[in-house]
Amino acid sequence: MPTTRRNLFHSTIHDAAHPTWRWARTLLATPDFPDALVDYCVTMTRPPGASWPSNKVFVQKLRYLTCYILIGSYARWQRGEGSPPTLAALQRTAVASPRQIAGFIKDLRHGGYVVAEQQESDRRRYHLRPTAALIQEVARSPLAFLAASERLEPSSRPLLAAISASPERMCDWLGRSVDCYQKDDSLFAPFRTIVQLTERECGYPLMAAILGTHYAAQRGVDAGLPSLTYRVLAERFQVSRQHIGNMLAEAERLGWFSIAAGGHLRAISEDLIAEFETWSAGQMAHFRGLAEQVCDPGGVAPKTMAE
């Protein structure tokens, strides 16, 4: 298996002087960085806790971004910095078509992830409120990255525990991330392979299973990751074997990775490893910095959310 020189960023990062990337470089060079990535990949490949098929809802780029942007709009409005997060407003800002957004929000309301509430200023109008369940689902990867950052560089106060304990604080935390994303997409756009994988149904957790297997083999640990057979991956991610087969065939054709008979990782691209490690270090630094802001004792506590 290839071994990436982790003191280097992936070639798509051009503004390495930015504070987030300066911190990311420090995390990237930490000796325990691969172990933190194993833990992250294990988290991202765990079966969903809810009976509703959350993998189908959240683990795909357009749907995830729609939820992410909704949370950002709601958090901004709660801070008194924006207009109410209505369906029409979401349709103007989200990345899918208005029809797709309307259908998706209907599904989210049915699943108890979004509530339509009357506006106090005009009872004829409704805004969309993300519930604690939606916030928790969208925060799954950010929380895992925050945990990884605290493992590599312990904080003076328990940031992960503080963020996890409060849906209001978690909403504010994610909302600030959305503000950064909408101002300057430097944490997603540079990572073309990762973005391309997330466009597929469950492409990201599949990638996490592949990368986690790679790092676990490097470190000689049994991390409890799913076997890379079609059957196990299909059952874990609640998709068909054909869908898994199609994604693995495409990955091999594009030179990203290949799986041998019996679910063994035969090869993985050095470039994909470098991209994933840079992406991960950037995400750790990004969400850690925002957690420091949100948990600042001198900050203003966010408003309480109803369940």
pLDDT tens per residue, range 207-225: 999 999 999 999 888 888 9
Task: Calculate the dihedral angle through the C-alpha atoms of 292, 294, 297, 303, rounding to the nearest 10 degrees.
Answer: -170
Q: Rounded to 5 degrees, what are φ and ψ at 85? A: -80, 80
Q: How far is CA 159 from the centre of its chain?
A: 18
* Ranges of each domain in the chain: 27-50+140-294, 58-137
Q: State the pLDDT confidence band at 56, using cuts at 50, 70 and 90.
A: low
Other Cβ atoms less than 10 A from the Cβ of 5: the count is 8
The predicted-structure confidence for 102-131, as pLDDT tens digits, reads as follows: 999 999 999 899 999 987 777 678 999 999
Q: What's the pTM?
A: 0.90
Sorted by sequence, the CB contacts under 8 Å of residue 66 that are 6+ apart come out as 90, 94, 95, 96, 101, 104
The predicted-structure confidence for 80-93, as pLDDT tens digits, reads as follows: 998 999 999 999 98
Class of the domain covering 58-137: mainly alpha
Q: Which of 42-46, 102-106, 185-189, 292-296 is predicted least confidently?
A: 185-189
The predicted-structure confidence for 255-279, as pLDDT tens digits, reads as follows: 999 999 899 999 999 999 999 999 9
Q: What pLDDT was estimated at residue 150?
A: 96
